[in-house]
Chains A and B, each alone.
Chain A
Amino acid sequence: MDERLTRKLRILADAAKYDASCASSGAPKRSAGRGGIGSTNRIGICHSYTPDGRCVSLLKILLTNYCLFDCAYCINRRSSNVERARFSVQEVVDITIAFYKRNYIEGLFLSSGIIRSPDYTMEQLVLVAKSLRQQHGYRGYIHLKTIPEASPWLVEQAGLWADRLSVNLELPTDEGLKSFAPEKQAGTIKAAMGQMRERIEEAEAERRSFSPAGQSTQLIVGADGASDADMLRTTANLYDRYALRRVYFSAFSPIPDSTSRLPAKAPPLQRENRLYQADWLLRHYEFGVEEIASATEGGMLDLEVDPKLAWALKNRARFPVDVNKADREMLLRVPGLGARAVDKIVRARRHTTLRLDDLKRLSGALKRSLPFLIAADHHPGGSTDRADLRARLVQPAAKQLALF
């Protein structure tokens, strides 16, 4: 790889790194055909981790960081002074294949600033995906960013070649978008999501391949005044209306060359983490968004305890729960018990009566659960209702960053 290309790669990776909507790279299982390379698995692989603890799975780059738009939160907005660069379609294809063959990456995540016109830009993105598939018989993962302002037919072409399409809503409220992203419109973005949902569902019904790994989006945390409850309501709405696979949260992070309109401070990582936990409760723990919202203070999630524990502390009358008798839904609500541990409990108790020693082998975070559950040799007694319960359960700060 020559100097010039490496330089471009640095600029265009730097420009893409604030987009977290590509965290997953799983797709229906597929393997390389004769004469080709590339496979996908249900769960994508992280080929490396950067010192921020984040997974490096895809080659995440922009085609170009020139942009006609002026979104305040974005390093690539037209009024920023960053160094600009542009890849040719062939360059992106070549780097992707070279990296893939060395097992550095799981695939490509390609986005772009908007140059010339949304259609032109989208066409270039589609062209990259198409040449990877057609010229190289490449069957690895491809995630393309949809430019919502592009014509529908282009979005549809993109879905033929990509595993996943995504368009970032970025700001959860229409007002936020209006003031920080003047050229963008919530309506256009949502129309694009709606179109993608329709096509994805039709293709599934007709057993064709169209964006088989679905669509996702990203919301920026802490750039505008939206509360956690706002974020979560938007999130639940997106899952519901557009059948998104995932909503990703990205703590607004200081960028070089920032605008005075946005906070210049450390990214609210803890808040981001709590939002992810709440999102998890929505998707896998049968929580309703208003239940989570009811356990917030002024719409903000508790930063010291996870949202499930926060909910349990406000609903103590529903505890303690007997692990040998309670149904699955209620076990899922016990702080510290993950879905996997719950499944193990449900299976094991068919054969045996569970005691604390057994539970220790089934769950990694039992300490947090003790005040909320009953086992054959354990009853929390009055401790469920102790006034200082929350204080006793606050985790040491160092642990708080781990996602569960």
Chain B
Amino acid sequence: MREIALQPGADLAGFRQAVRGLVADGIPPEQIEWTVAEPSLFGAEPAGDARSDAPPLRLPRPVAELVEEVVPHRDPERYALLYDVIWRVTHGRRGLLEIASDPVVHRLELMRKSVRRDIHKMHAYVRFRQIETAPGEPERYAAWFEPDYFILQAATPFFVERFRAMRWRIVTPIGTAEWDGVTLRFGPSGSRADVPSGDAFEAGWTGYYESTFNPARANPKLMQQHMAKKYWRNMPEAATISNLVRSASSRVERMLEEGPTVPTKRMPEGALAAMLEQAPASLAELNAIIRSSGPLVPGATQAVVGEGPEHADIIFVGEQPGDEEDIQGRPFVGPAGRLLDRAMAEAGIDRKDVYLTNAVKHFKFEQRGKRRIHAKPTAGEVSHYRWWLMRELELIEPKLVVALGGTAVLALTGKQVPITRARGPAKLLEDFPGYITVHPSYLLRLPDEDAKRTAYTAFVDDMRRIRDMGRAARSRVAAE
């Protein structure tokens, strides 16, 4: 018979070390007696007569996990049962854990379940109370909690992930966890007296709890299945439970007896009518909305809204603002914008007469060193912004809509179209004549000078046709 004495609590390290030695020596489960040492009688002793030089033991992942999760349990037999499984797994039964109907596996699984549940309940029912601190100091909080098992180490990383910016302590009868904003430390157990006896928000929280309860559905048994009485003494809202349960049926009876009330005759016709006119009535209103909305992809400095006369004859739709536009908050003021200005001027279009806008209203980029490199908007992003673009068109009522490049076409029609083939007059939308040409940034990207020159000439030709189409449309409208 070998005796293995482990430390009280969840002695995972001791158990692991003992198991290595026992497996290496070929000691079967029935020859081992697992005991737990008296708390700190000799300090942290090595586990029983386990050897410390045994080679590490490779266990299948599911078995290692089971060990980790069961060790925090309080059942004195847990170590023996775990060793029984390890022994069988290392002696030809590698798939043992798959047999959930095996009596030992079944018992261990039940233990694992209760440990998980205990951890889960700790995450749920810890109630922090604020500790008074001097003004300017970080806020501090403390909680008292009584877990069933030795779960402090396993349960507290959750609180770090959730309350990273806070300083907090969780005090329990099995130890204390303390987070100072940087490190999580474990210390000796404490008592309820170590945390404040109340908190300024407990009354408000209890009030909320009372109000969110629907007396017509009272079912205290179901409540207790989820939230056993043992937790109540550390939950401020629980003080009100008995009262809520007692008064539930009379509250419901009153509701039923009182029956329907005479409705207040409220026919706010004016308000209801006004409510239907919520759509932005002017470009200024629309642009205010756009400016106050966040970018879809974080990063942009500001929204870049359209620019030009409220009822321009021609509207140019580009892709999205670039680096300079983003900083200045105006469309087409970067290199591509300057090129567009030049082409328009050569074709006799005055920039001040047309409306310039983008399919997407925020700059999206990839940061490379100090430079912000334009990133193409996705189809989803384009359709996000589509609603605004359509409102712009409705408010401006242009005679001609010019799509500069593929993204603009996508925004206007919902379809991807190859620009080179579709270039020229096009049916973009039901209500407005359209025209498709390239985006000026395309000209800037062309590699050689010859190609640039040819493309620019074609672009200016497009601008001339656009000018003529705009004029023709206006005189048509004037004649009607």
Contact = CB atoms under 8 A, between A and B. Distances in A.
Interface of A: 1, 5-6, 9-11, 13-14, 16-18, 31-39, 45-56, 59-61, 68, 70, 78-81, 95, 98-99, 101-104, 114, 116-120, 130, 137, 140, 151-153, 156-157, 160-161, 183, 198-199, 202-203, 205-206, 208, 251, 253-260, 264-267, 269, 344, 347-348, 350-352, 354, 357-359, 361-362, 401-402
Contacts of A101: 128, 130, 139, 141, 163, 166
A199 B217 contact: no
Given A52-B213, A256-B258, A37 B248 contact: no
A59 to B, nearest CB: 7
Given A99-B201, A199-B380, A9 B208 contact: yes
B264 A1 contact: no
A80 B259 CA distance: 13
18 contacts: A1-B204, A6-B207, A11-B211, A37-B162, A38-B162, A48-B209, A51-B218, A54-B217, A55-B226, A68-B268, A80-B264, A99-B208, A130-B294, A137-B165, A152-B387, A160-B294, A202-B383, A264-B259
A347 to B, nearest CB: 5
Most chain A CB inside 10 Å of its own CB: which residue of B200, B218, B296, B379: B296
B125 interface: yes
B217 A269 contact: yes
A59 B252 CA distance: 24
A31 B164 contact: yes
Contacts of A347: 98-100
Contacts of A266: 216, 252
Nearest to B240: A51
A99 B166 contact: no
B223 to A, nearest CB: 5
Interface stretch (B9-17, B273-281, B393-401): B273-281
B120 A45 contact: yes
A99 B205 contact: yes
| Smallest CB-CB A-B distances: 6 pairs | A53-B222, A202-B380, A358-B101, A1-B204, A79-B263, A31-B161
Interface string B417-437: 000000000000000000000
Contacts of A156: 384, 387
B266 interface: yes
A269 B252 CA distance: 15
Contact of A17 (B166, B211, B235, B260): B211
B208 A47 contact: no
Given A1-B201, A46-B226, A253 B164 contact: no
A54 B130 CA distance: 28
Contacts of B127: 102-104
Contact of B162 (A31, A78, A344): A31
Contact of A267 (B100, B101, B204, B217): B217
A33 B226 contact: no
A104 B201 CA distance: 10
B378 interface: yes
A5 B204 contact: yes
Interface residues of B, number: 92
A364 to B, nearest CB: 11
A98 B384 CA distance: 34
B272 to A, nearest CB: 6
A14 B252 CA distance: 14
A68 B219 contact: no
Given A45-B123, A137-B165, A265-B256, 12 more contacts: A10-B210, A17-B211, A37-B162, A46-B226, A52-B214, A52-B219, A68-B272, A102-B201, A103-B163, A120-B278, A151-B387, A253-B214
A120 to B, nearest CB: 7
A9 B205 CA distance: 9
A36 B164 contact: yes
A117 B226 contact: no
A116 B275 contact: yes
B1 interface: no
B206 to A, nearest CB: 9
B8 to A, nearest CB: 28
Contacts of B207: 6, 9-10, 13
A348 B98 contact: yes
Given A254-B216, A351-B99, A103 B143 contact: yes
B388 interface: yes
Contacts of A31: 161-162, 164
Contacts of B271: 68, 116
Contacts of A137: 165
A385 B100 CA distance: 31
Contacts of A208: 296-297, 378, 380-381
B211 A14 contact: yes
A56 B212 contact: yes
A249 to B, nearest CB: 13
A13 B211 contact: yes
B225 to A, nearest CB: 7
B199 A102 contact: yes
B245 interface: yes
B126 interface: yes
Nearest to A60: B212
Contact of A48 (B158, B162, B235): B235
Contacts of A104: 127, 201, 205
A70 B271 CA distance: 13
Most chain B CB inside 10 Å of its own CB: which residue of A6, A53, A151: A53
Contacts of A95: 204
B106 interface: yes
A53 B221 CA distance: 7
Interface in B119-154: 120, 123-130, 139, 141, 143
B278 A151 contact: yes
Nearest to B377: A206
B387 A153 contact: yes
A78 B248 CA distance: 27
B252 A254 contact: yes
B373 interface: no
B293 interface: yes
Given A56-B209, A102-B129, A348 B278 contact: no
B286 to A, nearest CB: 10
A153 B252 contact: no
Contacts of B164: 31-37
A230 B238 CA distance: 40
A79 B264 contact: yes
Contact of A351 (B98, B158, B163, B268): B98
Interface string B280-310: 0000000001000110110000000000000
Contacts of A14: 211-212
Contacts of A202: 378-380, 383
B295 to A, nearest CB: 9
B149 to A, nearest CB: 18
B283 to A, nearest CB: 15
A50 B387 contact: no
B265 interface: yes
B103 interface: yes
B163 to A, nearest CB: 6
Given A37-B164, A152-B387, A258 B213 contact: no
A130 B292 CA distance: 11
B23 interface: no
Nearest to A10: B211
B462 to A, nearest CB: 31
Interface string B334-362: 00000000000000000000000000000
A98 B263 contact: no
A37 B168 CA distance: 13
Nearest to A350: B98
